[in-house]
Chain A
Amino acid sequence: MKSLILRDLKLAFRSGGGFALTLAFFLIVVMFVPFGVGANLDLLARIAPGILWIGALLSCLLSLDRIFQLDWEDGTLEALATSPIPLSGIALSKATAHWITTGLPITIAAIPLGYLLNLPTQSYTWLIASLALGTPTLSFIGAFGAAITVGIKRGGLLLSLLVLPLYIPTLMLGAQVVAIGTPNPAQLLALVAAISLLSIALIPFACAIALRSNLR
């Protein structure tokens, strides 16, 4: 499983696309908000947590179809399915690799982007914590959506329609953690982490069912 993660990481770095593209997209989304709502610093500071979280969701969405699509097309997935690693283990490795190549860079990139949006100084700790603990959910749910739509031609739009509703609890709680004036951010942060743990524990099995059905 470790080698599977390493292989995915190597592929992501070598093609160069995934990694840099996700961050460029994140930058563009965040940059467009002042273009749309005006460069009022007070307003930007107020909406920054939500913008950063929505930007993270959308950037994550962009690279989801890569999780299984290429391996599905060239038959690697079929070969992997007959290997001794259970399908849920494969899904776990793939989702982890996806998080390392998107969730982690997004979390780090959120710091300078938060500065662009005039995010209040005391919010940065909460921003990093909530993104670091929340983005694993995004990758795991995303892997689930990718596993479901892997057999569908041009399934990208459907993938978004399936995955985005599942992101709602993480988005609501995560953005709330960062917002100023939330009475008890640590409690919400614990809930964000709990959702991530739940996703990591259960979603690989759901992925396995979806992949097995698609491979049949």
Chain B
Amino acid sequence: MSLWEYANPARFMALSGRILPTLTIASAVLLLSGLIWGFFGTPADYKQGSTVKIIFLHVPTALMAINAWLMMLVASLIWLIRRHHVSALAAKAAAPIGMTMTLIALATGAIWGKPMWGTYWAWDPRLTSFMILLIFYFGYLALWEAVSDKDTAADLTSILCIVGSVFAVLSRYAVNFWSQGLHQGASLSLDKETHVDNAFYFPLLVSMAGMVLLFVTLVLIRTRTEIRTRRLSALRAREV
């Protein structure tokens, strides 16, 4: 019994159908309790006031924005090497979720930044990297839409994802040089680790776990949709 058995669409459908209800409930419970705990149950920070509560949305979504791309990278490699259709479709299913997570991370960051930094947007390395990640998602999704042949689309998006990952990492480091050159010493770093107290740490962990589970749940649902779409067009093609 190996993991690759689930690369078979029928087996994948059976397994994912079996675990989806549990997964849905688990992710809803964890995410809601993490957010409610964070929203109602945490004190205001001595420096940031109540805006510190935004961390329970910002950090989990930022985490998933990057992890969704990593998952797409792994799925793309599996598709190119082992040609498992489920893998290519899972990468396609994950992209809109990752894009939404990136948008939420940017939006919550901007809303937090206004009272704290005095501006919605600054060309800080982290913010800029997220903007770059967002346009990578745009390109990836646009390519899926543009190619009509399904297997070719999977090939092309996979290779784009792999090359894109290399250049996304390069951008992440290039941004550091670039931003140093622009704002001398005007540091707007988030400094998270230093002032996360236990009172924030535990609800944050719960929210992060909830967001991970939400991501997995949505990827499974969307992958199932993609598999069904594929089957539907195969059936229709046979009829004509």
Contact = CB atoms under 8 A, between A and B. Distances in A.
Judged by CB atoms under 8 Å, the answer to whether A and B touch is yes
Interface of A: 141, 144, 148-149, 151-152, 155, 158, 161-162, 164-166, 168-169, 172-173, 176, 179, 181-182, 188, 191, 195, 198, 202-203, 206, 209-210, 213-214, 216
B152 A151 contact: yes
In the complex, the 4 A-B pairs of residues with the closest C-beta atoms, listed nearest first: A213-B155, A169-B174, A169-B170, A172-B178
B146 A158 contact: yes
A46 to B, nearest CB: 12
Nearest to B145: A158
Contacts of A213: 151-152, 155-156, 159
Interface residues of B, number: 29
B15 interface: no
A176 to B, nearest CB: 5
Nearest to A184: B177
5 contacts: A148-B156, A169-B173, A172-B171, A176-B178, A213-B159
Given A182-B181, A213-B151, 20 more contacts: A152-B146, A155-B146, A158-B142, A158-B146, A161-B142, A162-B142, A162-B160, A165-B164, A166-B167, A168-B132, A168-B174, A169-B170, A172-B175, A173-B178, A188-B177, A191-B174, A203-B163, A206-B159, A209-B155, A210-B156
A209 to B, nearest CB: 5
B135 interface: yes
B136 A165 contact: yes
B132 A148 contact: no
A188 B173 CA distance: 11
Contacts of B166: 198, 202
Contacts of A144: 163
A157 B138 CA distance: 13
Interface in B136-170: 136, 138-139, 142-143, 146-147, 151-152, 155-156, 159-160, 162-164, 166-167, 170
Contact of A148 (B136, B143, B174): B143
Nearest to A144: B163
A210 B159 contact: yes
Nearest to B132: A168
B89 to A, nearest CB: 16
B80 interface: yes
